[in-house]
Chains A and B, each alone.
Chain A
Amino acid sequence: MKLYDKIFRPTVYTLPNGKSVEKKASRAPFYALIVLIMCAVSVKITGFDMKILVTRIGQFFVIFQRMIPPKKEIMSAVWEPLFDTVKMSLIGSLVGSLLSVPFAMLASTNVCKNRVVVSIVRLMFSIVRTLPTIVTALIATLFFGLGTLAGTIAIAVFSFAYIGKLTYEEIETVDMGSFEAMEAMGSTKTRAFITAIIPQVLPFFLSNCLFNFEGNVRYAAILGYVGAGGIGILLNERMSLKDYSSVGMMLISLLITVFIIESISRYFRKKLV
């Protein structure tokens, strides 16, 4: 940003006693300008139109109004896919998180001394994380057929990358002193890792896993859209039939499920960290 300072000269304040201080020109207007330009470009490309939004916003609520009153009879058909959604997220999160651990170790500079391995594993985590879960799910349905297995795998892949990244960041910031102390007491490196490093990382790891699980329950509800199992299939079906009162009931049941899971998860996460 040297150039910026050359264009916009710093203000010089001179005190009565002859001393002077320089205040660099604020960058805020520059950043604001960039954001404004990006907004303008985005408005043009997306066709954002305030007039349409104001005049027709009522239409947005039509669907939600039709969801009331929710159709209670549909519940008998909802239980199974709803539980499937929870199960998919649970097992997917579990498998993904566990699988990520050895890779996370390889991606931490304080555990793995080989720079090349570290960068390769990190790049792999980044690339896997960019894959939209819905695309992973779709590909999984082609490999494993329609059904919950595909959804479970998609969630596992996402959890793998998400938990993996958080875990290696956690391992990197760990205090290596206790590891050194274990070595000085005559431990092997493996035992020193198990005894000294794992207790420091574990609470954060478990907390992240729970958080990830929480989020995945929500996400799993979408996966049904590509036929990867769970309540999404039913939601999608009822949406296309314009059976909005059933959709309303499903959303309420999903809301309650998510609320319960979040409360439990929050309780344990508070205890952990």
Chain B
Amino acid sequence: MNKRIEEAYAKRPKNWVYNTVLAVITIGLIIWSAGVVETSGSTAGGGQIARNVLKGLFTPDLKFLFDFSTSGVPYLMLETLCIAFLGTIVGAIISVPLAFISASTLAPKPIAFIGRMLIMAIRTVPNFIYALAFIRVSGPGPFAGLLTMGVCSVGMVSKMYIEAIEDLDVHVVESLDAAGCNSWQKIRYGILPQLMPNFASTAIYRFDINLRDATILGMVGAGGFGAPLIFAMNGYRWNEAGAILAGLIVLILIIEFISTKIRVKLTRG
């Protein structure tokens, strides 16, 4: 056998120790977590309940589904849509300054670090706690819901804004610098045109998520379809719950379709 080849073979990266350790840790974690699969025991007659639930969900209450008064599904969906929309806008606006001070490429290191910690803290507080806090401000209802949505959006949206800002193409700014622009002009003509499509796209993406997350708000009394849904489910009125879920699925599919279209347009120009 050729000597050079033997040498090359001997020089092969040997990372089996690392791989084995990683595998052992992963498997250990899985075994550790598997212990979690515990339950207070299936409620009596689980099968019967399951059948009722499925039957109700697949035969939605059509009268409720097509009730166009303020107590019907369409209005609930509209309300949720409005909460999510305005909440997203509020969140998207708050996120802009927060993202700029937390971007490590623009702001000084300590400030950026504090900004990031703040964003993380905002993200970690569960949304029903915000909802309860805002109910103290405005009383129960959609207003509290939209404020909650706003704050909850800040976490993810500003995180994605930061990434967009850090990925900025600085060569454009360089060329503007060379052309003799001042700081404001550099931001206006060099940075904003790059960021705008990205920011808009992020906001639309978050709008999608907010629609789904609106359920939990309703549960604590902050408006939207959550409250009627939970009442229906707790009262075992499964066809009512089915009607709300059907409305929700249709709404989300439509919004998702539109938002994907807009986002594709934004990124491709």
**Can you sample 13 A-B contacts with CB below 8 Å?**
A45-B142, A46-B82, A47-B142, A48-B86, A91-B33, A138-B233, A142-B43, A142-B53, A143-B50, A144-B39, A145-B43, A251-B124, A258-B120
Query: How many residues of A sit at the interface, in one of the four size bands?
Result: 35 or more
Query: Contact at A46–B136, with CB atoms within 8 Å?
Result: no
Query: Contact at A147–B39, with CB atoms within 8 Å?
Result: yes
Interface centre among A39, A46, A88, A144 (most CB of B within 10 A): A46
Q: A48-B146, A221-B126 known; 5 other A-B pairs, CB under 8 Å?
A: A56-B137, A59-B133, A87-B32, A145-B42, A145-B46
Q: For the complex, give the distance between the alpha carbons of A149 and B123 in Å.
A: 25
Chain B residues within 8 Å of A147, by CB: 38-40
**A91 in contact with B78 given A48-B86, A143-B46 (CB within 8 Å):** no
A90 CB within 8 Å of chain B: yes
Shortest Cβ distance from residue A132 to the other chain B in the assembled complex, whole angstroms:
4
Q: For the complex, give the distance between the alpha carbons of A222 and B125 in Å.
A: 10
Q: For the complex, give the distance between the alpha carbons of A45 and B77 in Å.
A: 12
Q: For the complex, give the distance between the alpha carbons of A37 and B14 in Å.
A: 63
**1/0 contact trace for B43-84 toward A, CB 8 Å?**
100100110010000000000000000000000001101110
Chain A residues within 8 Å of B133, by CB: 59-64
Chain A residues within 8 Å of B17, by CB: none
Query: Contact at B41–A135, with CB atoms within 8 Å?
Result: no
Query: Contact at A45–B245, with CB atoms within 8 Å?
Result: no
**A56 in contact with B138 given A46-B79, A91-B34 (CB within 8 Å):** yes
| Interface-facing stretch out of A102-110, A123-131, A180-188 | A123-131
Query: How many residues of B sit at the interface, in one of the four size bands?
Result: 35 or more
Q: For the complex, give the distance between the alpha carbons of A239 and B83 in Å.
A: 24
A114 CB within 8 Å of chain B: no
Q: For the complex, give the distance between the alpha carbons of A247 and B129 in Å.
A: 10
Shortest Cβ distance from residue A186 to the other chain B in the assembled complex, whole angstroms:
26
Name B105-163 residues within 8 Å CB distance of A: 120-121, 123-129, 132-134, 136-138, 141-143, 145-147
Shortest Cβ distance from residue A30 to the other chain B in the assembled complex, whole angstroms:
14
Name A110-152 residues within 8 Å CB distance of B: 126-127, 130-135, 138-139, 142-150, 152
A84 CB within 8 Å of chain B: yes
Chain B residues within 8 Å of A86, by CB: 33
User: Closest 6 CB pairs between A and B?
Assistant: A42-B82, A87-B36, A87-B33, A46-B142, A132-B215, A147-B39
Query: Contact at B219–A148, with CB atoms within 8 Å?
Result: no
